[in-house]
Amino acid sequence: GEDVEQSLFLSVREGDSSVINCTYTDSSSTYLYWYKQEPGAGLQLLTYIFSNMDMKQDQRLTVLLNKKDKHLSLRIADTQTGDSAIYFCAERTGGYNKLIFGAGTRLAVHP
């Protein structure tokens, strides 16, 4: 069945790059998404990538997609304390724009 997997925790030093990884199972996924959730809040869309793209860059964010391996990554350059949050990977599958979410990666940024 459909499944999205992420590591649960990542710790980085302020100013370094963060790389959050995700694997998914549905090869027919059309779009893949990254969401950010700050403490006590809902999820906020960070970026998305269409399945026929390999890479998408948006300011400090770079998304890489390896469709053959069904692997998605989010790189955050120059990570700041404000980037501390939970990051969710999601694949769009089936009808009704239904998204399947991973369990989320908690990013902790320390001085």
Partner 1 sequence: DVKVTQSSRYLVKRTGEKVFLECVQDMDHENMFWYRQDPGLGLRLIYFSYDVKMKEKGDIPEGYSVSREKKERFSLILESASTNQTSMYLCASSLTGGQDGYTFGSGTRLTVV
Task: Single out the segment in contact with partner 1 by CB under 8 A; choices: 11-19, 60-68, 77-85, 102-110.
Answer: 102-110
Rounded Cα distance, 14 and 51, in Å: 31
Dist. CA 42–CA 99, nearest whole Å: 16
Pairing type for strands 105-110 and 9-13 reads parallel
Q: How near is the Cβ of 21 to partner 1 at its closest, in Å?
A: 15
Residue 102 touching partner 1 (CB under 8 A): yes
One character per residue 34-73, x = contact with partner 1 (rule: CB under 8 A): -x----xxxxxx--x-x-----------------------
How far apart are CB 82 and partner 1 at their closest, in Å?
A: 18
The pair of three-digit structure tokens given for residue 94, joined into one six-digit string: 């089936």
Q: Would you state the torsion angle of the CA atoms of residues 39, 46, 72, 7, taken in this order, to the nearest 10 degrees? A: 0
Tokens of 26: 């549905």
Window 71-90: contact mask with partner 1 (x via CB under 8 A) = -----------------x-x
- Smaller CB separation from partner 1, 72 or 104: 104
